[in-house]
Amino acid sequence: MAILEVRNIVKSFGGLRALQDVTLSVEKGEIRAVIGPNGAGKSTLFNVMTGLLAPDSGNVVFDGEQIIGMPPHRIIRKGIGRSFQITNIFPRMSVFENVQVALFSHHGKSRNPLHLARKFTEIGEETIAILEQVGLAGKYDMSASILSHGDQKRLEIAISLASRPKLLMLDEPTAGMSRFESRETVSLLQRISREQGLTLIFTEHDMDIVFAISEKIMVLQQGAVIADGTPAEIKANPEVRKAYLGEEITES
């Protein structure tokens, strides 16, 4: 059964058609890549799906429910987590606090103004458990701003996991990482998806990673879907090849 149905999304900015009739269907537990050259509309699509942008037309159904028109914080509560291309953490808070504050929100405790935050021991344990999952438990008391780039990305994934999403959307999860860090992150994502039945949608420019972990790949170019299929199908698709290498330029 499809957990996410994106139907005929159209979005224009001024005269520019950023998304032209984009349709996408993702099965529960699937790992799906969305790729395309710069400016293909990947980020716009993610922003529409998480309520940051309103589309001109089309709809998005998540887990049987129409989510277009909801503000981001409500869409999150429905079970869509998101990590960003530009690392998006709480820099002057500790690694622990970064995840703990997300768990407070998830458990509906954020409004509690009178109990000491550190005394929520169950949430504390859960925080440590998530940090262990992403391999940051040993750095739990460090300020997030002084982590390495790879660790910051991992922390961001941990924050997203804390809202216990059914679907996690990742915008270039390995951008700016060393080869070693990327490999670690990729296996982390695979493991989480397998263990928790989590559905993943991600964009990525590193093709090694895209082909290593995706079950299906969608290719966008100038806002339109030019291909959607298994890694093998995508590799063989001449349209995709052209999108990446550029059109043969005929003498003008």
Partner 1 sequence: MDLSFLTVQVLSALRQAAFLFLISSGLTLIFGVLNILNFAHGALYMLGAYFVYALTLHLTGPAGFLIAILAAPLGVALIATVIETGLLRRIYMQEEIYQLLLTYALVLIIDDLAKIVFGPEFKSIPKPEMLSGSVTLFGGTVPVYTLLVVVLAPAVALLLWYLLYKTKTGKVVRATSSDREMADALGINMSALFTLVFAFGAVLAGLGGALAGPVRTVFPGVGTEVIIESFVVVVIGGLGNLWGALVGSILIGSLETIGIIVFPEFEMALIYLLMVAVLVVRPWGLFGRPLKIKALSEKNLAMEAQEISPVHFTVHPAVRWAPLLLLLLVPLFAGRFYQYLLTQIFVASLMAIAFNLLLGTTGLLSFGQAAFFGVGAYTVGLLLTKAGFGTLPALVLSPVVAAAVAGIIGFFCVRLSGVHFAMLTLAFGQLIFAVVFKWYGFTGGDNGIQGIRVNPIPFGGMGALDLGSTQAMYYFVLVVVGLSVELLRRIRSSPFGATLKAIRENSQRASFLGVNIKLYQWTVFVVAGAFTGLAGGLYALMEKSISPEIIHWSKSAEPVFMTIIGGIYTFAGPAVGAVVYVILNSYLVAWTEKWALVLGLVLLTLVLLLPGGVVGYVNEKARQTLGKLRCIHKWPFSKSATS
Partner 2 sequence: MAFLDLNSINTYYGRSHILFDVSLSIEKGEVVSLIGRNGAGKSTTFRSIIGLTPPQTGEVIFKGERISGLRAFRICRKGVGFVPEDRRCFPDLTVRDNLEVAARREKEVDSPWTVDRIYALFPRLQEREKNLGSQLSGGEQQMLTIARTLMTNPEVLLLDEPSEGLAPLIVSLLADMILRIRKEGVTVLLAEQNLHFCAKVSDRAFVIDKGSVKFAGTMKELLANDEIKEKYLAV
What tokens does 220 get? 């966008």
With CA atoms as reference, report the closest residue to 18 among 42, 52, 36: 42
Question: Number of residues in contact with partner 2, rule: CB under 8 A?
Answer: 33
Q: Tell me whether residue 36 or residue 51 sits nearer to partner 2 (CB atom).
A: 36
Q: What radius of gyration, in Å, describes the C-alpha atoms of the chain? A: 19
Whole-number minimum distance, CB 163 to partner 1, in Å? 6
Q: Does 191 bind partner 2 (CB under 8 A)?
A: no
Task: Based on DSSP, count helices (H) and strands (E) in the chain, helices before strands.
Answer: 9, 10
Q: Does 143 bind partner 2 (CB under 8 A)?
A: no
Q: Give exposure, 72-104, as e/b (b: 16+ Cβ within 10 Å).
A: eeebbeebbbbbbeebbbbeeebbbbbbbbbbb
Q: Does 205 bind partner 2 (CB under 8 A)?
A: yes
Q: Tell me whether residue 152 or residue 221 sits nearer to partner 1 (CB atom).
A: 152
What tokens does 19 get? 């998304």
Show the 3-state SS of 183-201: HHHHHHHHHHHHHHCCEEE
Whole-number minimum distance, CB 123 to partner 2, in Å? 29
Beta pairing class for 57-62 and 65-66: antiparallel
Q: Tell me whether residue 46 or residue 186 sits nearer to partner 1 (CB atom).
A: 46
Q: Which of residues 27-66 bind partner 2 (CB under 8 A)?
A: 35, 37-39
Taking CB within 5 to 8 Å according to partner kind, which of partner 1, partner 2, none is near residue 57? none
Q: Which of 146, 187, 230, 233 binds partner 2 (CB under 8 A)?
A: 146
Whole-number minimum distance, CB 144 to partner 2, in Å? 12
Q: How far is it, in rounded angstroms, from Cα 190 to Cα 219?
A: 21
Whole-number minimum distance, CB 200 to partner 1, in Å? 17
- Kindly list the residues in this chain that would bind partner 2 in the complex (CB under 8 A): 15-16, 35, 37-39, 146-150, 172, 175-179, 205-207, 222, 234-235, 240-241, 244-250, 252
